[in-house]
Amino acid sequence: MSRQSFSALSLILRSLSRHSSWQKQWRKAEPKAEYDAIIVGGGGHGLGAAYYLAKEHGMTNIAVLEKGWIGGGNTGRNTTIIRSNYLFNESAALYDHSVKLWEGLSQALNYNVMFSPRGVMMLAHTVHDIQVFKRHVHANRCNGVDNEWLEPQQAKEFCPPLNIENNIRYPVLGAALQRRGGTARHDAVAWGYARAADAVGVDIIENCEVIGIRRGTNGAVEALETTRGIIRSRKVGVSAAGHTSVVMRMAGVHVPLESYPLQALVSEPVKPIFPCVVMSNTIHAYISQSDKGELVIGAGTDAYTSYTQRGALHINTHTLDAICELFPNFRRLRMMRNWGGIVDVTPDRSPIIAKTEVPGLYVNCGWGTGGFKATPGSAHVFAWTIARDEPHPINAPFTIERFRDGFLIDEAAAAAVAH
């Protein structure tokens, strides 16, 4: 299937016909009776997995089922931070695999995902923070992941709006900076993967909710019952984020997940004022500026599990308290919108990308509060796992069985808070 290529030249040429000759970016596919593989969940991770299945593993008779619309879940609700400065070797390999794919993603997809490696700076406010972040810096460098320690004055030079005075409750004592980290345009990631997957033959089926998983006499996956009929497939990859527990229970598989609301908010748009991404795990502030000019602010998870896609306002105000102390310039900005997504959190805050006890059923879940950054890498190794029925070396440690066998990848303890 040929797709119109996006380039400056095609933009100019099609302007001559007043941009009336552009194709739809992907087809509205009708479900077929049978596929070689089905991905459940049309977010970035699911669409990406379908794309890599087709592109790298030659499987073109595949479908992505999405109960709502493409990128309408957590892919369109996150704060778009990309980084790979995780402590443990397994995590560093996984997240840095992703950063490397981000770096060439716009070219690979012929779609501008607006990846902007503007630097992610994580603030230290206590002696404990300093020790932990310096440990991260050293661990990262051993793993070939860039990360460097900044004194407060250097942090201020990198991010001029930052308040490094002693007049706040938790003054800035230093920072860890990953220069290769940054942001990308979240919607473009979903649309770019959808368009590229469609171009290699993947059926993207929206408004199609999975309501049952049929298994054969040998226990293997045979078909999915959906709101648009029964669709047969012997390989099913579940990439359903906050609803993974619900989908997996249809096949009788329990995953160690809890689903929590995670909120974010944006300010009114202003002129460019904020040059990087700043995170503070200790006082819960996560902030960057979008290319539209809005300050994009991440809040924490709510205390309780929920599927409502909304949370409590005091969670947002808590974050804004910290933002206003760190960046006094922003105190009079008005907040424009806030929203929530449902994130699936594992006990060790590391994902699960693995085969399951059910033959033909694969799961990619547990990304918790930080899945966006991992989208390309996660999708890439998940596709490998589905196509070859065995994990890629990078995701081999991220099994469900690690909780039984005691091989946790405990980024929860490493970060001490949601990250």
Partner 1 sequence: MLIIDCPYCGKRPEIEFSYGGQAHLARPQQPAQLDDQAWAEFLYMRTNIKGVYAERWRHARGCGRFFNALRDTTTDHFLAFYKTGEPRPTLPAQHERTT
Chain residues 318-377 in contact with partner 1, contact rule CB under 8 A: 347
Q: Give least dist CB 305 to partner 1, A.
A: 6
Give the interface size with partner 1 as a residue count (CB under 8 A).
23
Q: Give least dist CB 64 to partner 1, A.
A: 22
Distance CA 183, CA 161 (A): 19
Q: Give least dist CB 344 to partner 1, A.
A: 8
Q: Give least dist CB 4 to partner 1, A.
A: 41
Distance CA 50, CA 63 (A): 7
Q: Give least dist CB 366 to partner 1, A.
A: 11
Q: Quick check: 22 binds partner 1 (CB under 8 A)? A: no
Closer to partner 1 by CB, 11 or 246: give it.
246
- Candidates 121, 172, 251, 257: give the one binding partner 1 (CB under 8 A): 257
Chain residues 222-251 in contact with partner 1, contact rule CB under 8 A: 243, 245-246, 249
- Candidates 219, 256, 293, 328: give the one binding partner 1 (CB under 8 A): 256
Binding mask 396-415 for partner 1 (x = CB under 8 A): -------xxxx---------
Distance CA 312, CA 304 (A): 10
Which value, to the nearest 10 degrees, does the dihedral of the CA atoms of residues 127, 170, 116, 269 take?
180
Binding mask 193-222 for partner 1 (x = CB under 8 A): ------------------------------
Closer to partner 1 by CB, 155 or 320: give it.
320
Distance CA 327, CA 335 (A): 15
Q: Quick check: 138 binds partner 1 (CB under 8 A)? A: no
Q: What is the DSSP secondary structure assignment for residue 6, as one 8-state letter?
A: P
- Candidates 34, 258, 321, 410: give the one binding partner 1 (CB under 8 A): 258
Instruction: Fill in the amino acid letter for 35.
Output: Y
Q: Quick check: 314 binds partner 1 (CB under 8 A)? A: yes
Closer to partner 1 by CB, 100 or 310: give it.
310
Q: Quick check: 312 binds partner 1 (CB under 8 A)? A: yes
The answer to whether residues 109 and 192 touch, using CB atoms and an 8 Å cutoff, is: yes
- Smallest CA-to-CA distance from 279 within 369, 185, 345, 413 is with 369
Instruction: Mention every residue, 6+ apart, whose C-beta is less than 8 A from residue 122.
Output: 85, 133, 175, 176, 177, 278, 279, 280, 281
Instruction: Mention every residue, 6+ apart, whose C-beta is less than 8 A from residue 248.
Output: 238, 254, 255, 356, 363
Chain residues 278-307 in contact with partner 1, contact rule CB under 8 A: 303-307
Cβ neighbour number for residue 112 with a 10 Å cutoff: 14
Q: Quick check: 259 binds partner 1 (CB under 8 A)? A: yes
The answer to whether residues 40 and 160 touch, using CB atoms and an 8 Å cutoff, is: no
Residue 380: exposed, middle, or buried by beta-carbon count in 10 A (0-12, 13-18, 19+)?
buried
Q: Quick check: 15 binds partner 1 (CB under 8 A)? A: no
Distance CA 250, CA 212 (A): 5
Q: Give least dist CB 412 to partner 1, A.
A: 12
Closer to partner 1 by CB, 81 or 240: give it.
240
Report the interface residues with partner 1, using CB under 8 A.
243, 245-246, 249, 254, 256-259, 303-308, 312-314, 347, 403-406
